[in-house]
Amino acid sequence: MGSRPNPGDLVRVVKGGLVLEGVVMPTTEFSDPNSLVIKLSNGYNVGVDVRDARIEVLKEKMYEVGKVPEAGETSVSGSGKMKMSFISTGGTIVSKVEYETGAVKPAITAEELIEMVPEYKDEFSSIEVLELYRILSEDFTPHEWGELARITYNKLRGGADAVVIAHGTDTMAFTAAALAFSLRRLPTPVMLVGAQRSSDRPSTDSVLNLKACPVIAREAPFGEVVVVMHGSTSDTYVLAHRGVKVRKMHSSRRDAFQSVNDVPLARVDFPSASFKLLNRRYLKRSSPSDLELRGKFSDRAALIKFYPSMDCGVIDHFLDKGFRGIVLEGTGLGHVRNQCISSLRRAVEEGVLVAMTTQTLFGRVNMKVYTTGRKLLEAGVIPASDMLPETAYVKMSWLLGNYGDLNLDELRKLFLQDVAHEINPRHELNLYPRWFHGE
């Protein structure tokens, strides 16, 4: 090769019989020095090993680098039928490398979204991009859940046919559950989408995840909050998981998100972009005028994972600080050590909502089988059925936010009531994944 081109340059790469033209993407401290990432005109990024390639600069500084736009609203129009509202909260999917510093900044405009997914021009009549936050998903709080619920509600009231929310994957499942509890009787799916590989990388999963969104908006019979992420490690299909039943199950794989104790609602196969409903139990789409918002969240709920010899004082810590709800992530069918029962009894006596989930994640709590479970029930602990610990935590924050003036008995009843199919009354055998046992 000749001299290495600069980020932003338009180049032609000749390698073997292959000729590629595109714009050089910036490198980061994690980039392979032998590799160059080029954004093609169709929006895709391709990685090229430059060691045996010939590279010709067609135009220097094709794009201006080093600028991250101000947050705000941008829009473009297209030739399709649906109105799409894209709300960015940050995360890998909308992150780009700042050309000068190498730092990654979450920022996106409507133009940039169209660059990533040119198909959007054909699917949508208009694409509004709202850059709501530029925060890391680990810094989300119930405050952001409430704000995001309200804004989503307004977009749907304003006639959006598809709402896509870009979100960091770390706490995406929590936010999905929060929106699922907040937005009642949805006219169309609300889709959270993220990426496990940054959009600047050739192996990015963001493009396929984004491509699945209009298909789901068009075809899905359900009006639910869903997480739209890869179903496999390759670009073969994308799943729509029910927001209250999904969990990030792997730190880095592209198919990290999986439904637990439920079947994914739907899949979109590629390259055909065909929609397939997988789960017949869903909340149907409602008329837009029936949409209801219950979007308040309390920050007085806590999640405590139990482990052998856990200091029960941690329960009292939360009580002393004025917390109003505690979700326990117990062992097996829903147990914690007997020593903690007195602190839990104190909690219930002080009017604090206490619920039990299981750290096995799969399966359901059943506190009637063993002595400890029965004692916990007597102390007033609520068995949270097959709810994920994370979902139970969000539900508690939501209940305390919207119905905090109800008494404990009424709150307990509401907690056990199924709101968004967070409780699955029937577990088929196929809900438990198949593990490698040497076959």
Among residue numbers 104 through 163, which ones bind a copy of itself (CB under 8 A)?
104, 136-142
Report whether the peptide linkage leading into residue 271 is cis, meaning its omega lies within 30 degrees of zero. yes
Answer for which of 183, 192, 193, 256 binds a copy of itself (CB under 8 A) is 256
Residue 342 CA to chain centroid, in angstroms?
A: 37
Answer for which of 170, 273, 377, 408 binds a copy of itself (CB under 8 A) is 170
Considering only residues 344 to 363 of the shown chain, the ones binding a copy of itself according to CB under 8 A are 358-363
Residue with tokens 């989930």: 357
Contact 265, 282 (CB under 8 A): yes
Check residue 426 for interaction with a copy of itself (CB under 8 A).
Answer: no
Within 10 angstroms of residue 248's Cβ, the number of other Cβ atoms is 20
For 93, 106, 189, 240, 429, the CA distances from 255, given in Å and listed in that order, are 15, 22, 21, 12, 21
Answer for which of 50, 216, 365, 399 binds a copy of itself (CB under 8 A) is 365
Instruction: Give the binding range for a copy of itself (CB under 8 A) out of 32-40, 148-156, 221-229, 261-269.
Output: 261-269
Contact 88, 151 (CB under 8 A): no
Contact 202, 125 (CB under 8 A): no
Answer for which of 3, 289, 371, 407 binds a copy of itself (CB under 8 A) is 371
Answer for which of 364, 395, 412, 421 binds a copy of itself (CB under 8 A) is 364
Nearest distance in Å: CB 305, a copy of itself: 4
Nearest distance in Å: CB 215, a copy of itself: 15
In the Cβ-directed half-sphere of 46, how many Cα atoms lie within 13 Å? Answer: 17
Check residue 209 for interaction with a copy of itself (CB under 8 A).
Answer: no
Active site residues: 92, 169-170, 248
Nearest distance in Å: CB 120, a copy of itself: 25
Query: Total number of residues binding a copy of itself (CB under 8 A)?
Result: 89
Within 10 angstroms of residue 68's Cβ, the number of other Cβ atoms is 14
Check residue 436 for interaction with a copy of itself (CB under 8 A).
Answer: yes
Nearest distance in Å: CB 50, a copy of itself: 23
Nearest distance in Å: CB 250, a copy of itself: 4
Pick from 404, 416, 383: which is nearest to 323 by CA? 404
Instruction: Give the binding range for a copy of itself (CB under 8 A) out of 14-22, 72-80, 117-125, 231-239.
Output: 231-239
- Burial label for 2, CB within 10 Å (0-12, 13-18, 19+), is exposed
- Residues 131 and 187: their CA atoms lie apart, in Å, by 23
Check residue 259 for interaction with a copy of itself (CB under 8 A).
Answer: yes
Q: Which is nearer to a copy of itself, 124 or 318 (CB)?
A: 318
Token pair in block for residue 174: 């929590």
Sequence length of the chain is 439
Pick from 25, 17, 209, 197: which is nearest to 113 by CA? 209
Q: Which is nearer to a copy of itself, 85 or 196 (CB)?
A: 196
Instruction: Give the binding range for a copy of itself (CB under 8 A) out of 3-11, 59-67, 182-190, 243-251.
Output: 243-251
Considering only residues 48 to 87 of the shown chain, the ones binding a copy of itself according to CB under 8 A are none
Q: Which is nearer to a copy of itself, 247 or 296 (CB)?
A: 247
- Residues 98 and 29: their CA atoms lie apart, in Å, by 12
Instruction: Enumerate residues 6+ apart whose C-beta is below 8 A from 328.
Output: 304, 306, 336, 344, 354, 355, 356, 357, 381
Provide the 3-class DSSP secondary structure of residue 375: helix
Check residue 401 for interaction with a copy of itself (CB under 8 A).
Answer: no
Considering only residues 314 to 343 of the shown chain, the ones binding a copy of itself according to CB under 8 A are 314, 317-318, 321, 323, 329-339
Query: Going residue by residue from 11 to 40, which x/- string records binding to a copy of itself, judged by CB under 8 A?
Result: -------------------x----------
